[in-house]
Amino acid sequence: MRLTRGLALHKRDSASRSPLSRWAVFTRRWRLALILLLTAAASIIPVFNAGAKLAISPSSPCSVATTTNYEHVVWIVLENVGYSVIGSPSARYLNGLASACGLATNYDAIAHPSLPNYVAMTSGSTQGITDDNEPSAHPLRAPSIFSELGSNWRAFAESMPSPCDRVTSGQYAARHNPAVYFLNVARACRVDDIALTQPLDLSAAFTFIAPNICDDMHSCAVGVGDAWLRQLVPTILASPQYQTSSLVLFITFDENDSQASNRVPTLVIAPSVARGEQVGIRFNHYSLLATTETLLHLKLLAAARSARSMVTPFHL
């Protein structure tokens, strides 16, 4: 009798539950199912993180691939140091990279001072610039690698106060951030030209990295810039893009220390580059642009059309 009464009360209680209560139960069940599903998925999906075992070691990033399919190109542009930095005890990390990967031993900048080189390497011409003046003095509308790529590029400028900042301040130099000079990419610039922070997003086809005027060796010792490279470069080499052999990294200098030859070292780092590869062919900043445009299947701009490419010599 008591059991029958209890069952009757249970039935009446269940029947009296509001639709809202039944919905809460339903929601809790689905939420639990979703958590279980995501937990299971996380156990089988590979994730790139600092603690994961890398397919390509950042200490031996070259001579690890025989086929090439590069979709991402990264430039790091340092400042005002000539070829004499190769072999310098103040640049042990840079020299270690040169020994581990590729080095262009006969590579020249285009001009003095800095700005004409940055404009030349990204547009194929100095655009008549012979000074280091601010973007307000040189509003450019010429085609550039930025305009070729639409929004599929990114620029990271260390110490830049705000996105696409066109005014030099503190340790940020606008003249080292070429995208801010091209008015025809102003809209994309406000989104894609940002301060350098970690973690780096290297998903764009082209990434330009500008250290501040201390870390680029312009206003501080070579050793300071070398220490900065030691911190930054391994994060690039550990990126999903490099680990899947789809990224090429170039490290170059805008100009040398005002010598007439303007010879600068340029490092080529990619899985297919032979370890210790040294190429003595005459290259320059237009070669860097031509190489990048070729890898990204872009039209060659201006002087890049007649420049020697680095694709074949470095097995890219």
Q: Can you give the pTM of this predicted structure?
A: 0.84
Report whether 264 contacts 255 (CB < 8 A). Answer: yes
DSSP 178-204: GGGGBGGGHHHHHHHEEE--SS----S
What pLDDT, on a 0 to 100 scale, did the predictor assign at position 62? 98
Report whether 65 contacts 271 (CB < 8 A). Answer: yes
Taking the C-alpha atoms of residue 174 and residue 180, their distance in angstroms, rounded to an integer, is: 7
**What totals of helices (H) and strands (E) does the chain contain, helices first?**
9, 10
What pLDDT, on a 0 to 100 scale, did the predictor assign at position 29? 54
Report whether 264 contacts 253 (CB < 8 A). Answer: yes
Instruction: Give tens-digit pLDDT for 125-180.
Output: 999 999 999 999 999 999 999 999 999 999 999 999 999 999 999 999 999 999 99
Report the top-level CATH class of 72-306: alpha beta
Report whether 291 contacts 311 (CB < 8 A). Answer: yes
Taking the C-alpha atoms of residue 96 and residue 91, their distance in angstroms, rounded to an integer, is: 9
Taking the C-alpha atoms of residue 310 and residue 291, their distance in angstroms, rounded to an integer, is: 6
Cα torsion at 98, 103, 155, 186 (round to 10°)?
170
Reference 260, options 50, 114, 117, 112; nearest CA is 112
Report whether 70 contacts 247 (CB < 8 A). Answer: yes
Amino acid in position 278: Q
Taking the C-alpha atoms of residue 98 and residue 190, their distance in angstroms, rounded to an integer, is: 34
Pairing of strands 266-269, 102-104: antiparallel
Residue segments in the chain with a per-residue pLDDT below the cut of 50: 1-20, 23-27, 32-50
The strands making up 266-269's β-sheet, listed across from edge to edge, are: 193-195, 153-157, 206-210, 72-78, 247-253, 266-269, 102-104, 277-279
Reference 59, options 109, 101, 24; nearest CA is 101
Query: Which stretch of DSSP H or E encloses residue 253?
Result: strand 247-253
Partners of residue 195 on adjacent β-strands: 157
End-to-end alpha-carbon separation of the chain, Å? Answer: 86
Cβ-Cβ contacts under 8 Å for 250 (sequence gap 6 or more): 73, 74, 75, 76, 266, 267, 268, 269, 288, 291, 292
CA distances from 43 to 38, 69, 309 (A): 9, 29, 44
CA distances from 45 to 49, 89, 237 (A): 13, 43, 21
